[in-house]
Amino acid sequence: MAERVARGLAAILLVVLLVVVVAPLLIVMIGSVVDTSLLGLTSESWQEDVSAWSWFSYVLDLYGVHLARSAWLALTVVVSACLIGFPAAYALARRNDAFSATVRVLLDAPLAVPGLTVGIGLLLAYPWGRASGATLAAGHLLYALPFFVRAATNALSAAGLAELEEAAAAAGASALQRFRRIVLPLARPGLLAGALMAFTISWGEFNVSFLLATPTTQTFPAALYLTYTTNSFPVAAAATTLFLGAAAPALLLLQRVAAAETARFGEAA
Amino acid sequence: MGRSNTGPSLWWLAPTAAFLIIAFIVPVFFLFEMASDSSKGFWAELAQVWTRNHTRRALLNGVVLSAAVSTAAMLLCLPPAQLLARSRFRGRDTSRLLLSLPLAFSGVIVGFLAIVMLGRVGVIPTLSQALFGQPYGSGLAYALPGLFLAYLFFEIPRAVLSLEAAFAKLDPELDAAARTLGASRWQRWRRIKLPALWPALAGTFATTFAVSLGSFGAALILSRRFFVLPVEIFTEFTAFSNDAAACAMAIWLASISALVSWGAARATADG
C-alpha cells in the first residue's frame, strides 16, 4: 500500500516537472505562429494582415547570419573535439598512469569553473583572438571536449575491444585497417553521442560567448539576448522556436543513439 | 609502466593536453595576474570583494540561491528519477527526452520563458486575472521567486538524468533481500539506498550548484534588485573596465565553485 502511494506521488511529481518544462516551450512555439494578443503577450507589433509564419522570415532576415554563424561554430567545435578528443580517449581507455590521470582531471576542471570566468581569462590572455572568433571557438571547445572524451573513452573501453584489436594486429592488420574495421564500427554509437553533446553545448552556449563575441562574431544565443531585450513577443518567440529547431532534434538523436550517455550529459555546464 | 608498453603512447594525449594548457591554464593564470596588477595589490583586491557591501551581498546571494535551487532540484527530482530508472511505463522515453530539453538552453532563453510565464503581462497572471479576477504572479519573474524558478528550470534535467543513472546502478537484489528480512521502507532507504546513492547525490549537488553559481544569462535578463556575482563581474568588466576588480570577483566565484566540486569528489571517493 505504502509502495503504491509512493509510486503515485512520484508519478504526480514527474507530471508536474513535465508541465513546468513543456508548458513555456509550447506557449512560445504556439506564440510564434498564432495571434497571442488574447493572452496579453502581444502588444502593438501584431498586424492582422501579416500571416503568422512571416515572423519566421522576418527573424531569418534579422538573425540568419547569427544562425549560420552558430551552426558553423558548432560544426567547428564538433570536428575539433573529434580530432583532438579521439586520440585522447583512445589513450585514456588503454592507459593507467599518472599523466593520463592528470589529463583526465584537467579535462573536467573547466566544468567546475564558470564560463564567464574562463571567458575573461581567454580575453586577457589572447586579446588578438577575439576578432577572428578563435577564442570564442576555444571557449566552446573547452566545455564540449570533456563530454566528447568521456563518451568516447567509455565506448573505447568496451569489453573485448582491446582483445579484438590485438588479435587483428597479430593477424597482420595495419593500424588503419584495425581502426576502420574494428574500432570505428564498435565505438560508433559512443562517438556519435559525444559529437551530439559537443554540438548541443556549443549551440546553446552563452556564458563564454557573450563576452568573447564581437558584433561580427555574435552567436545566435547572444543575438537572442538582444531580441529579448529589444523586440516584440512574436519575434522573440519565433527566434526561440528556431533555436529549439536545432537543439531538440540533437537531443532526440542523442537519446536514440545512446540512452546511457544521456545521463552523463546531466553534468553539462 | 608495464601496461603502457602495449597501450598507445603518451603522444596520443598531446593535442588535448596542449589545448587544455593554452585554453584553460594560461587564461586562469592571466586572471590571477590581472588581479595582482591592481594598485592595491592582489590580496587587498580579493579582500575588497568581501568588504564591499555590494559585492559581498552579490556573492552571498548567489551562494544561497544556488544552494537552495540545488537542494530543491534534488528533492523534486529524486522520486521521478527513481520512477524513470525502475519502472517500465508508456511515455517513459518521451518523458526523459522532454525533461532533458533545458540542457540545450542558455540562461537567457530560460529568462525569456520566465518572463513569458510570470512577467508583468505573462501567461499565468493573465489566466489568473480571467479566472480569479486577480493577476496573481504578475511581475514575479523579475523578483527572487522568478529567479529561483528559472534556475530550477535548467537544473531539472541535470538532476533527473544523473539521479536516474544512479538509481539504475542500484542493485535491486539488495533491496529485495532487505525486504525479505523484514526491513521497513524507511530502513531500506536509510540503510541501503541512501549509502549507495550518496556519491551520486553529492555529485549532482556539486554540478547543479556550480552551474547555478556561474550562470549569468538568466540573471542578466531577470534580476532587477537581486544581484548575483556573474552579472556584477560582467558589468565591472565591460561597463567600468575595472579589470582587476572583475578578476578578483571571478577568482572568488571560480574558487567557491571549484571547492564545492572538489568536496563532492572527495565525498564520492570516500563513499
Q: CA A50 from chain center: how many Å?
A: 34
- Which of B206, B94, B4, B201 shows the shortest CA–CA distance to A97? B4
pLDDT band at B271 (very low <50, low <70, confident <90, very high): very low
DSSP designation for B25? I
pLDDT band at A46 (very low <50, low <70, confident <90, very high): very low
Tell me the C-alpha distance between A142 and B19, whole Å.
Answer: 8
Q: Beta-carbon neighbour count of residue B128 at 10 Å?
A: 16
Tell me the C-alpha distance between B204 and B190, whole Å.
Answer: 19
Contact residues on chain A for B243, CB-CB shorter than 8 A: 124
Interface of B with A in 39-68 (CB under 8 A): none
Mutation for B interface: A13, A118, A120, most B CBs within 10 A: A120
Cβ atoms of B228 and B62 closer than 8 Å: yes
> According to the model, what pLDDT value does residue B4 have?
41
The arithmetic mean of pLDDT across residues B57-77, rounded, is 94
Contact residues on chain A for B85, CB-CB shorter than 8 A: none
Cβ atoms of B223 and B57 closer than 8 Å: no
* Tally of CA atoms within 13 A in the half-sphere of A237 that contains its CB: 27
Question: What one-character-per-residue DSSP string does B147-197 give?
Answer: HHHHHHHHHHHHHHHHHHHHHHHS-HHHHHHHHHTT--HHHHIIIIIHHHH
Tell me the C-alpha distance between A68 and A164, whole Å.
Answer: 42
The arithmetic mean of pLDDT across residues B19-37, rounded, is 93
> According to the model, what pLDDT value does residue A265 have?
66
> According to the model, what pLDDT value does residue A198 have?
94
The arithmetic mean of pLDDT across residues A115-131, rounded, is 92
Helices A98-108 and A54-94 pack at an angle, to 10 degrees, of 160
Looking at the predicted structure, is the pLDDT value of residue B129 above 60?
yes
Mutation for A interface: B34, B90, B116, B204, most A CBs within 10 A: B116
Angle at A86 (CA atoms; ends A72, A91), nearest 5 degrees:
160
The arithmetic mean of pLDDT across residues B176-194, rounded, is 84
Write the pLDDT tens digit of every residue in A191-216.
999 999 999 999 999 989 988 888 88
* Tally of CA atoms within 13 A in the half-sphere of A1 that contains its CB: 0
Q: Are A7 and B93 a contacting pair at CB < 8 A?
A: no
Contact residues on chain B for A200, CB-CB shorter than 8 A: 103-104
Mutation for A interface: B10, B20, B29, B167, most A CBs within 10 A: B20
Closest CB from A25, A87, A200 relative to B15: A87
Q: Are B31 and A139 a contacting pair at CB < 8 A?
A: no
Tell me the C-alpha distance between B93 and A49, whole Å.
Answer: 41
- Which of B165, B257, B255 shows the shortest CA–CA distance to B207? B257
> According to the model, what pLDDT value does residue B239 have?
84
Return mean pLDDT, chain B.
Answer: 87
Tell me the C-alpha distance between B66 and A39, whole Å.
Answer: 32
Closest CB from B16, B27, B77 relative to A84: B16
> According to the model, what pLDDT value does residue B41 have?
86
The arithmetic mean of pLDDT across residues A168-178, rounded, is 85
- ipTM attached to this prediction: 0.88
Residue B37 Cα, gap to closest chain A Cα (Å): 12
Fill in the amino acid letter for A189. P
The arithmetic mean of pLDDT across residues A161-176, rounded, is 85
Q: Are B111 and A228 a contacting pair at CB < 8 A?
A: yes
pLDDT band at A142 (very low <50, low <70, confident <90, very high): very high
Looking at the predicted structure, is the pLDDT value of residue B21 above 90?
yes
Tell me the C-alpha distance between A228 and B265, whole Å.
Answer: 38
B15 or A187, greater pLDDT: B15
pLDDT band at A49 (very low <50, low <70, confident <90, very high): very low
Residue B192 Cα, gap to closest chain A Cα (Å): 17
Interface of A with B in 194-253 (CB under 8 A): 200, 203-207, 210-211, 221, 224-225, 228-229, 233, 236-237, 240, 243-244, 247-248, 250-252
What grid cell was written down for B123?
501567461
> According to the model, what pLDDT value does residue B142 have?
87
Residue B119 Cα, gap to closest chain A Cα (Å): 9
A33 or A53, greater pLDDT: A33
Contact residues on chain A for B83, CB-CB shorter than 8 A: 7, 10-11, 14
> According to the model, what pLDDT value does residue A57 have?
80
Tell me the C-alpha distance between A11 and A18, whole Å.
Answer: 11
Write the pLDDT tens digit of every residue in B207-216.
899 999 988 8
> According to the model, what pLDDT value does residue B5 have?
45
> According to the model, what pLDDT value does residue B137 have?
82
> According to the model, what pLDDT value does residue A263 have?
60
Tell me the C-alpha distance between A41 and A35, whole Å.
Answer: 9
Looking at the predicted structure, is the pLDDT value of residue B198 above 50?
yes
Q: Nearest residue on chain B to A97, judged by CA atoms? A: B1
Looking at the predicted structure, is the pLDDT value of residue A53 above 70?
no
Residue A166 Cα, gap to closest chain B Cα (Å): 10
Q: Which positions ≥6 away from A3 have C-beta within 8 Å? A: B185
Looking at the predicted structure, is the pLDDT value of residue B105 above 90?
no
Longest dimension (CA), chain A: 74
Tell me the C-alpha distance between B34 and B26, whole Å.
Answer: 12
- Is B101's Cβ below 8 Å from some Cβ in A? yes
The arithmetic mean of pLDDT across residues A136-161, rounded, is 91
Tell me the C-alpha distance between B247 and A211, whole Å.
Answer: 14
Tell me the C-alpha distance between B194 and A31, whole Å.
Answer: 44
Tell me the C-alpha distance between A81 and A83, whole Å.
Answer: 6
Percent of chain A whose pLDDT exceeds 70 = 88
Q: Are A14 and B84 a contacting pair at CB < 8 A?
A: yes
Cβ atoms of A103 and A92 closer than 8 Å: yes
Tell me the C-alpha distance between B172 and A134, whole Å.
Answer: 49
Tell me the C-alpha distance between B146 and B139, whole Å.
Answer: 8
Report the C-alpha dihedral over residues B220, A111, A157, B102, rounded to 10 degrees. Answer: -20
> According to the model, what pLDDT value does residue B78 have?
92
**Residue B204: burial class (beta carbons within 10 Å; 0-12, 13-18, 19+):** buried
> According to the model, what pLDDT value does residue B3 have?
44
Q: Which positions ≥6 away from B118 have C-beta within 8 Å? A: B124, B125, B137, B138, B139, B140, B141, B146, B149
What grid cell was written down for B87?
519502472
Closest CB from B1, B97, B247 relative to A97: B1
Cβ atoms of A138 and B22 closer than 8 Å: yes
Among A43-47, A179-183, B75-79, which is the least confidently predicted range?
A43-47
Looking at the predicted structure, is the pLDDT value of residue A38 above 60?
no
Q: Are A117 and B80 a contacting pair at CB < 8 A?
A: no
